[in-house]
Amino acid sequence: MNKVSSLQVISPNVKYTEDHIYADYEYEETLVTKKDNAITVKPYQTSLCIRTARKVGRVGVMLVGWGGNNGSTFTAAVLANKHQISWNTKNGKMEPNWYGSITQASTVRLGIDEKGNDFYVGMSELLPMVHPDDLVIDGWDISPLNLAESMVRAKVIDYDLQQKLKKEMATMKPRPAIYDPDFIAANQADRATNLIRGTRYEQYLQVRADIKDFRDKNKLDRIIVLWTANTERFCDVRPGIHDTAENLERALRNNESEISPSTIFALAAIDEGCYYINGSPQNTIVDGVVERAEKMGVFVAGDDFKSGQTKLKSVLVDFLVSAGLKPVSIVSYNHLGNNDGKNLSAPKQFRSKEITKSNVVDDMVESNPILYKPGEKPDHVVVIKYVPYVGDSKRAMDEYTSEILLHGTNTLAVHNTCEDSLLAAPLMLDLVVLAELLGRVHVRRDHTHEWSGLHAVLSALSYLVKAPLAARGAPVVNALFKQRAALDNLLRACLALRPATHMQLEHKVPFLRSDLQSGAMFAGDAPPAKRQRHAQNGAQ
């Protein structure tokens, strides 16, 4: 697919200045109320102006767990693509790519061409996004291995590519990290030799100093801290400790043992003005962290990369339920032999993962009261076994049994083998690229109001995680296609483009079809400027 040289929306509702894109957008929703058996439906619109800053700046990524399978694979992928390194395999010469990344390898439908065919562009063509080649990478790990040694240990990257990356990755050494054996499996202890010593508050200060050092040395405008370290046990959330920013700060200074390493990293990142993203399942982002992020005007997002088995589950269950078929039994089994699997072989760490892998069907089940009584759920079992021999090549086996017409049953059996880190690394990129972009998006009602950033809990990234965090009280959406549509339509809204409906009426309504074929459909002007004045005002 040829890269689109530049994308320009010609509309009275869009204004481009050197620094910003201003979009006048009518946000539409429908209020539904039910009383007894009477349902009333009332569409409504909210007029918004959306402003997107066009300049990206210098972006840094700091990975917690940099030396892990995901961290080393992500780094290898960035370098292989940046330097366009090809390598030889038994199947011939390979070129680098970003398959699995929605920003780099997926497309968004923009509209139709004159013949009525759908027109798609790469997601990264829609709005200014940081290019993966321009990312500056750093991070921490409790293991002292440099990134070349980590890549070899991970056994994910092809041998010939490893040889071509080794020299540069050997210069990358994870900073000492925060280790608390109470939060990850005891079997990780032998790696834990690259540590920040001292109290939890002293560790917090050191992480902040590390971030400052990274920012200053590389003259960075934005830093995103992404946790891809081992899964921790859930922390026991306690009032007076985790519930407010003030209590969390006090508890940290008091060296409270129930504050996890990941929460310390999150606080340090936020206090340095960084976005913090949790790629693991534990409950790092407690209320005190969210409150801190809100005060600092930065994003937090998570939890747990949605990479393979769970991503498929959030498609299959959505398909079954929306087809009026009733999933009644879901069994997800997998075994893997990487260090993640080793850590997850411990009960408390597995429990964290079991929670995020199990809750992913809740919204889809609750969407269909025809199939499910209130509170009724499918049987749902998650099994993860550690089998060292298979390494990063996770073997996933799923069975979905559904009730169908007249109480028949339908059973879907799925087998999925993949290098887990090759699925996760592109998601890490997308989390960084999209978080950075959405940090440049601001919204206001009109010129009489102040600009507002998006909510500190960045639920727009839900497509990329198993257990999406949302603003307190907001519904959690796990269905993959709804998550994707929400993201695509948010990006379209930044260009004053209405949500994609896929209705194709120009092929379904005869006179519209005639308009299309005669060219009359596009002869007129764009829709009237609903609120052109705000676009003009936005430029002030």
Ligand X SMILES: NC(=O)c1ccc[n+]([C@@H]2O[C@H](COP(=O)([O-])OP(=O)(O)OC[C@H]3O[C@@H](n4cnc5c(N)ncnc54)[C@H](O)[C@@H]3O)[C@@H](O)[C@H]2O)c1
Which of 24, 125, 138, 141 forms a contact with ligand X (CB under 6 A)? Answer: 141
Choices 199-207, 309-317, 483-491, 525-533 (CB under 6 A): range interacting with ligand LIP: 309-317
When CB distances are held under 5 to 8 angstroms depending on the partner's kind, the choice from ligand X, ligand LIP, none that residue 80 binds is none
Which of 164, 222, 357, 440 forms a contact with ligand LIP (CB under 6 A)? Answer: 357
Percentage helix, strand, coil, to 5, in the chain? Answer: 40, 25, 35
When CB distances are held under 5 to 8 angstroms depending on the partner's kind, the choice from ligand X, ligand LIP, none that residue 421 binds is ligand X
Q: CA end-to-end span of the chain, whole Å?
A: 38
Joined together, the tokens standing for residue 10 give: 């010609």
- Select from 379, 419, 421 the least CA-distant residue to 402: 379
- Find the catalytic residue in 306, 313, 326, 353: 353
Instruction: Rank residues 24 and 141 by Cβ distance to ligand X and give the closer one.
Output: 141
Alpha-carbon gap, residue 232 to 255, rounded angstroms = 18
Instruction: Rank residues 60 and 68 by Cβ distance to ligand X and give the closer one.
Output: 68
- Find the catalytic residue in 394, 398, 430, 488: 394
Alpha-carbon gap, residue 337 to 153, rounded angstroms = 12
Helices and strands (DSSP H and E) totals, the chain: 17, 18
Looking only at residues 225 through 244 of this chain, which bind ligand X when binding is defined by CB under 6 A? 228-231
According to the binding rule CB under 6 A, does residue 334 interact with ligand LIP?
A: yes
Q: Which phi and psi angles does 362 have, rounded to 5°?
A: -55, -50
Choices 95-103, 128-136, 337-345, 471-479 (CB under 6 A): range interacting with ligand LIP: 337-345
- Please state whether the peptide bond connecting residue 190 to the residue before it is cis, i.e. omega within 30 degrees of 0: no
- Select from 350, 319, 320, 338 the least CA-distant residue to 422: 338
Residues 6+ apart with CB under 8 A from 54: 18, 19, 20, 21, 128
CB of 306 to ligand X, least distance (A): 7
Which of 138, 420, 430, 488 forms a contact with ligand LIP (CB under 6 A)? Answer: 420
Joined together, the tokens standing for residue 120 give: 């798609």
Residues 16-55, one symbol each (x = binds ligand X by CB under 6 A, - = not), give: ----------------------------------------
Residues 6+ apart with CB under 8 A from 501: none
Residues 367-396, one symbol each (x = binds ligand LIP by CB under 6 A, - = not), give: -----------------x---------x-x
Residues 6+ apart with CB under 8 A from 232: 183, 184, 260, 261, 262, 280, 282, 284, 349, 352
According to the binding rule CB under 6 A, does residue 307 interact with ligand LIP?
A: yes
Which of 179, 201, 275, 400 forms a contact with ligand X (CB under 6 A)? Answer: 179
- Select from 295, 269, 143 the least CA-distant residue to 211: 269
Alpha-carbon gap, residue 383 to 99, rounded angstroms = 28
CB of 154 to ligand X, least distance (A): 6
According to the binding rule CB under 6 A, does residue 70 interact with ligand LIP?
A: no
- Find the catalytic residue in 15, 430, 466, 488: 466
Q: Where does this chain bind ligand LIP (CB under 6 A)?
A: 306-311, 334, 336, 340-341, 344, 353, 357, 384, 394, 396, 420, 466
Residue positions annotated with a catalytic role? 304, 353, 394, 466
Q: Where does this chain bind ligand X (CB under 6 A)?
A: 64-65, 67-71, 140-143, 177-179, 184, 191, 228-231, 261, 279-280, 304-305, 307, 338-340, 343, 420-421, 423-424
